[in-house]
Structures are given as C-alpha cells and as structure tokens.
Structure 1
Amino acid sequence: MTTLALTGSPLWYASRVGGTLALILLTATVVLGIASGGRTEPRRIGRFEVGLLHRNLSLLTVVFLLVHVVTAVLDPFVRLSWTVSVIPFGASYRPLWLGLGTVALDLLLAVLVTSALRRRIGVRRWKAVHWLAYAAWPFALFHSAGTGTDTRLPLQLWFFAACLVAVVGAVWWRLAQAGPGRLAGRLVAAVTALAVPVLLAGFLAAGPLQPGWAQRAAVTTVLLGGGR
C-alpha cells in the first residue's frame, strides 16, 4: 500500500490543490464547449444559460490557475521567479514540464483578454483565439503529469483517466452529431482525440511511472540551457 507523507509546506499543498482544481474546471469547460457547440439544441436548458455556465467555469479556471501559479512562485522549495510564470521553458526546476503549464496559462490569458475585447476585435477574431482554450487543455494535462510528485499514485492516474474520458468522449459525441461538411476539421479532431490518450499513456509508462523520474526530469534543465 502506498502512503504519502505530509511533509510539504502549506504553499506546496495550496499549489497542488489550485492546480488540480484548475485542471478539473478546465476539463469541464472544454467538455461543455465541445458539447454545446454542435447542431443539437439542449432540451432542458437554453443556450444562454449554457453560455453563462461556460463563461463562469472559464473564469473559475483562471482564478484557481492564478492561485496555483502564485503559491508555486511563493513556495521557497522550488524557487521560481515571476518571469517563468508567463515566459515558458525558462525555469531551473523541470523547465520543460513547467513550461507546458506556462503555455497553457498564456493561452487561457489570451482567451480571457480577447473575450473582454470581443466587441472591438470582432466575433471572427475572437472565435479564432477562443480555440486556444482547447489547445491549453492537453498542455495543462501533460504539465500536471510531468511535474506532479504524486503522478504514480493510483488516485492520480484515475484522475487523469477521467479527464481524458470526459474530453475524448465529448469530442466523439460532437463528431457523431455533426452534419455534412468540414471534413478536414472533423478529421483533425478525430486524430487529436486518438493521439492525446496514446501520447499520455506512452509518456506515463516511459516517464513518471518509472523509477528515478525526478532526476531524469531535471536533466531537461541542462538540455534546455536553463540551469546547472
């Protein structure tokens, strides 16, 4: 039986909780965005209510993501600078995996800013940037798997599996409901829905689930030129 000793600082636990809640909310936001964007009309709730829920989930995602970032920077163990929270792959601690989280944050901030300027930039440009929210999800997922110290725990693995099932299931449901046309877009969505679980499973098997992952993850610091 695997046990987890409570040896971290309160800031470390706050960062982990904030990151986990942010990933849960981001997954729910992506699922709702995928499911509600098709041709099928919701039966028991109007599209306005769905849009409002989607917006509120998005805002909550950013709030908990900021909690995750701020507590991680303030935690003295990792010693991160504020710069690496917005500029990816510059940290001295696991720069690749932290960088993926920074990319996810930057993408979500771009969506948030353009949503506030929606009337000025136009709906077409806003929709183009809005697609970045979907791209942020796999970056956040791999960031959590690569950086988290509890990735090997069964509960954490089930959590990743639940996120994958939710998003991939929503994609396939959307594809099943889609009408004719936009074959290229549907093909890209289908390939992506298949690729992300395969890549994550392969990464977990070859990386975090293997002994000595923490040391090997730190080697990317040298490869990226981010530290000693």
Structure 2
Amino acid sequence: MKRDAIFEFYRRLAEANPAPETELQYTNPYTLLVAVALSAQATDVGVNKATRRLFAEVSTPQQMLDLGEEGLRDHIKTIGLFNTKAKNVIAAARILVDRHGGEVPRDRAALEELPGVGRKTANVVMNVAFGADTIAVDTHIFRVANRTGLAPGKTPLAVELKLEKVTPAPFRTHAHHWLILHGRYICKARRPECWRCPVADLCAFKPKTPPPAEAKG
C-alpha cells in the first residue's frame, strides 16, 4: 500500500471511531497490566467477566500478593491457562513491589522482565496506560496488516516494525486500537465483511467478500 493510501486508510478508520479504546476493563496501569497478561489465548469478554470481581478487590501489586496464588486462581479459573497465568501474575507482583515500589514501569525493557509479559503485552500497557506510540501486534493486527497490504510481514515483530515505519504521525497513538477493532469486527479471519468495510477500495485482498444475500444467490 502506497503512502497516500495508507494515510487515507487511517483517516477513514479515525473518522469512524475518533477515540478508540481497549475493550479490556481496568482501573489503573496495574490492573491493565494484569488484564492484558490474562488475555493471552483468551477473549476480552472472558477476561472482563473474570476480573470484574477481582479488580473490585485488588488494584495494586501488594493487594495481589495478599490475595495469593490460590485466591487468584479462584477468580480466573474460567480463563484458559489460568494456573500458569496465576503463577506469573503473582511473581510479577512480587517484582513490582520489590524493584519498582509497587508501580508499573513505563519502559518496555522493564515490563518485559516481568513474568508473563512479552513484547505485545508491554506495548499494550505502554500505549493504553502511558500514551506511548506503540503498536502491539496480535492475531487481528497481523491479519489486517498482511491481508490489506498495509504492512506485510512474516512475523509479528516484522509487522510491528513495518507499521511503525509506515503509520503517519497523526495516527500513531491510536493505530493499535483501530487495527484491532477493524480485524475483530470487519476484517474477520474466516469471512471478512468487505461489503461494509470503509477501506475496501484501498485494500489488496481479493476477491472481496460479497454481502450475505449475494453470496447465497
């Protein structure tokens, strides 16, 4: 996708949703960090259901340590890989208390030192909690970037670096959310809804998916 088309691509997504937000529910940077870590291989809806009661009780790393691993497991047992995630969340809380005064660090390197926190989670926290121009490449963004021709790449990191290079400055802060939401609700994995896509004419994907009525006919 050429530079002018990329600008128009983002402009249209921005026009449709000027202030996109994460669909994960959280109360502060720490609960955001926990929610994102729990969301690996799980849906935001499922995570929100599990954390609603948890975050009413826990909002700091120390409170998480006080709850303990067993208590945390009881809250998140409906989420996939909950045993491993509980261990990681408790271990991360200990590091935050011991090394960071109970505060969530703002830089990627420090975040990635926390158990259960990879580059994607670190990027989400930096973007959502601290307003950094980071782009966390999940399955939705990876698909959209490759399918549309916006930023093709063979790995999530390759796509991330390409997106950072081609995304115009005015759109960098919200690019992450626009692309995720576009992939989640329109540019779906199995059957993209091209007939109602605001950027279909800019997209390299062929053949475009027809409306359901036409597809049946």
- What is the TM-score with the length of structure 2 in the denominator? 0.30
Using CA pairs below 8 Å that are at least 6 residues apart, which structure has the higher relative contact order? Answer: 1
More helix by share: 1
- What is the TM-score with the length of structure 1 in the denominator? 0.29
